[in-house]
Amino acid sequence: VVMTQSPLFLPVTLGQPASISCRSSQSLVHSDGNTYLNWFQQRPGQSPRRLIYEVSNRDSGVPDRFSGSGSGTDFTLKISRVEAEDVGFYYCMQGSHWPPYTFGQGTKLEI
Amino acid sequence: EVQLVESGGGLVQPGGSLRLSCEASGFAFSDYYMDWVRQAPGKGMEWVGRITYKLESYSTEYAASVRGRFTISRDDSKNSVYLQMNSLNTEDTAVYYCARDDHGSYSAWGQGALVTVSS
C-alpha cells in the first residue's frame, strides 16, 4: 500500500492552524472493521512518537490541538494552533495491510 | 513506563556484520510482536522486519531489501530483541529503531541506533 502525504513542506505561523493530508493507494478498512491509520511526530534529533492511532484516537499526553480524521483512503492530521514545539516531521502510517506497514514520505513542519 | 533501548550500532565496512540489541521494560514483552524500522540519513521510514511471539512460534518476516542478510531473534527471558545484520552495504546506513508492534501500529519506539557502513 502506497501512502502519499501532502504537502511535503509546511511553513506555518505560530498560533495558526495547520493541516496535513495522507492518501492511501487502497482502502485502509481492515477485515476486522477497524481502520489502522496512524500519525507520528518526529522532532529534530528524536525518535518518532505516535500522536494518533486508528484515524482519530489521540495518544495519552498528546495535546488536544492535534486531531485526526478521515476514512477509506483519505486522512487528515490537523493542528488547531501551531506551537513552537510542533516543529519537525509528521508521518502517516498504515497498519491495515501487512506485510509491510507502510509510511508516507513525511511532512516537514517549520515555523 | 514503556521503554525500548537499542544498542550495538557503529561503523562497519561493506561486507561486514553487526548485531543490534533492543531491551524492553515497562510492559509484558513476551506478549508483543517486535519490529525493526530504519531511517536512512535525510530519508523517511522503512520497515525492516518483524518477529512474532511464542504462541506464533516466533515467526519472522523481512523486507525484500534485507531478506537473506538480516535475522531477527528474541529472548523473552531478557526482554530483548535482536537484529543480526550480515553482508552490509552502504545502502544499509541508517538509524535503526526497534518498535513495539500493536497489531496495526507502533505505540513505542526506541531511541535508535546509528549504523554506518563505509570503508
**Residue of B105, B106, B48 whose CA lies nearest to B82:** B48
Residue A4 has pLDDT above 90, yes or no: yes
DSSP B107: E
Mutate to test the interface with A, among B35, B45, B50, B109 (most CBs of A within 10 A): B45
Distance CA B103, CA B114 (A): 26
How does residue A82 score in pLDDT terms, banded at 50, 70 and 90? Answer: very high
The ranges of chain B with pLDDT < 50 are: none
The strand pair at A18-24 and A74-79 is best described as antiparallel
Phi, psi angles (nearest 5°) of residue A81:
-145, 110
- A32 burial (CB, 10 Å; 0-12 / 13-18 / 19+) is exposed
Distance CA A98, CA A90 (A): 21
Phi, psi angles (nearest 5°) of residue A102:
-130, 150
Per residue in A58-75, pLDDT (tens digit) is: 999 999 999 999 999 999
> Cβ B44–A99 below 8 Å, yes or no?
no
Residue in the structure block whose three cell numbers are 510542533: A86
| Residue B42 confidence (pLDDT) | 87
In angstroms, what separates the C-alpha of B37 from chain A's closest C-alpha?
A: 10
| Residue B74 confidence (pLDDT) | 97
Kindly identify which residue of chain B lies nearest to residue A39, measuring between CA atoms: B105
CB B29 within 8 A of CB B42: no
| Nearest beta carbon to residue B104 from set A40, A95, A103 | A95
Sign, CA torsion A51/A55/A58/A63 = positive
Radius of gyration over every alpha carbon of chain B, rounded to an integer in angstroms: 13
Residues of chain B in contact with residue A54, where contact means CB-CB under 8 angstroms, are: 104-105
Under DSSP, is residue A36 helix (H, G, I), strand (E, B) or coil?
coil
> In chain A, what percentage of residues exceed pLDDT 70?
100
At B14, which amino acid appears?
P
How does residue A99 score in pLDDT terms, banded at 50, 70 and 90? Answer: confident
Residue A5 has pLDDT above 90, yes or no: yes
By the CB < 8 Å criterion, does B9 face chain A? Answer: no
Under DSSP, is residue B109 helix (H, G, I), strand (E, B) or coil?
strand
